Amino acid sequence: QLQLVESGGGLVHPGGSLRLSCTASGFTLDDFHIAWFRQTPGKEREGISCVSRRGVLANYADSVKGRFTVARDNTKNTVYLQMNGLKPEDTAVYYCAANSSPSPGICTTLGDKGRYGYWGQGTQVTVSS
């Protein structure tokens, strides 16, 4: 069974850091494009980052560029989202999602939820003083 599990969320003060993990079971994560989305109540799920298969390309939304970094650890079958300089507006449930397409261009576009067939359950990030 193919499964994604996010972890690492929590409560942090503004300016703080968190590292989210997206760990796969049942498949090799490096064979997939992995995107990070976030969602707050009443809003659309927002695509904020994507790392392509084999880590060739990483893309970021303007709202997180320069503060968030995505990285793969293939030894742990895990993709990380390092979040620095957190702001209250970063508060959301964060999801990772996987796309198995051989196309190298999947990560050039963020936010298309329909491209991703596998999703984790989400992890809550709260940024508050």
Taking the C-alpha atoms of residue 59 and residue 106, their distance in angstroms, rounded to an integer, is 10
pLDDT of 1 strictly over 90: no
Q: What is the pLDDT of residues 68-126, one digit of tens each?
A: 999 999 999 999 999 999 999 999 999 999 999 988 889 999 989 999 999 999 999 99
Nearest CA to 110 out of 43, 56, 65, 55 is that of: 65
Residue bearing the bigger pLDDT, 28 or 56: 28
Note whether 49 and 58 are within 8 A (CB). yes
Give 2's pLDDT tier (boundaries 50, 70, 90): confident
Q: What is the pLDDT of residues 92-108, one digit of tens each?
A: 999 999 999 988 889 99
Non-local CB neighbours of 121 within 8 Å, separated by 6+ positions? 5, 6, 95
Token pair 């999602």: residue: 97
